[in-house]
Amino acid sequence: MQEEGRSLGRASNRGKNRMIKIVVLDGYTLNPGDLRWDALEALGEVTVYDRTPADEILSRIGDADAVLTNKTPLSAETLARCPSVRYIGVLATGYNVVDTLAAKSRGIPVTNIPSYGTAAVGQFAIAMLLEICHHVAHHSEAVHAGRWSSSLDFCFWDYPLIELAGKTMGIIGFGRIGQRTGEIARALGMRVLAQDAYPNDAGRAIGSYVELDTLYKESDVISLHCPLFPETKGMINAQSIAKMKSGVILLNNSRGPLIVELDLADALNSGKVFAAGLDVVSEEPIRPDNPLLFAKNCIITPHISWAPKESRQRLMDTAVENLSAWLNGEMQNIVNG
């Protein structure tokens, strides 16, 4: 494998099948080195870049037939200047980085990976909730610092400890991930309320569908698992927070722009929202002046819900399956059909 240098990206051209040229514009987050690109290389001549800056997108696509991207944007202008591109695979569930209408107008199918992270993302939402309830990391650090050894009592705690059994979890967006989160919440003894545009029997087996205002009013914990659309952007704001219980816990490992961050920071600092667990923010990487960095009781992690190796392997496998299906004249996980 030819190395360009870790900070600039890495490229490989080991594929022996020369039928098509495949470029991965930002492969590092999917595969920082613990997975293999072999299955993709079996489909054609592959070049993998760790990251692609905006001013190198065109040159790196070059005369590629297939382009795979995670967060590197593919605009209408870019597609117009890359006439060789016949296929775009998004290495994620969300595909807003691609101008799908422009791609469709050029006859370019765009695929995504719809369900690779269901287990991982649901697990992570509950992990944030449990950390808020018990502050496990803090208390372990306190013990290692010697505070338990010097304690006059057999135990101590620095934060209120919260039992979840009997409390209500409200889940906004009750698709695969929302339902998985609801299943775990039920296993913890929680009542589950759900709000979704498309109620279904699988969801009814886990929780009760209610109107959004009812969910706000009755939930002790609110977890966001909905897509980012114009109608959901900024849905958690001063007005919606006012409808929630005082002392509510808010979780978001879906999309950062669902939340008006200054409004949430104000609610955390006032105590209206007891705590928040966030794996996503409106601009990523997070800006150093993001108000949530300075808010009380706010856990922020760097968009890693999706990142267990098992989850990334499923993503890799599905990306290869999507491209292979297209090469065989079939349509799989097309988002602009």
Question: Which residues carry out catalysis?
Answer: 255, 284, 303
In three-state secondary structure terms, 273 is strand
Q: Which of 70, 109, 74 is nearest to 93 (CA)?
A: 70
C-beta neighbour count of 269 within 10 angstroms: 15
Is the CB of residue 126 less than 8 Å from the CB of residue 169?
A: no
Q: 303, 300, 234, 329: which is closest to 93 by C-alpha? A: 303
278 touches 292 (CB < 8 A): yes
Assess contact for 266 and 240: CB atoms under 8 A: no
* Residue 334 near residue 87, CB atoms below 8 Å: no
DSSP labels for 5-45? -TTT-B--------SSEEEES--TTT-SSSS--HHHHTTSE
Residue 49 in tokens: 């870049």
Specify the 3-state DSSP secondary structure of 298: strand
For residue 285, cis peptide bond before it (omega within 30 degrees of 0): yes
Quick check: 172 and 156 in contact, CB under 8 A? no
Q: Cα angle at 51 between 39 and 21, to 5 degrees? A: 45
Contact (Cβ atoms closer than 8 angstroms) between residue 253 and residue 125: yes
DSSP element (H, E) containing 309: helix 309-327
Separation CA 114–CA 103 (nearest Å) = 19
Q: Which residue has the tokens 């080991």?
A: 14
Q: Under DSSP, is residue 265 helix (H, G, I), strand (E, B) or coil?
A: helix
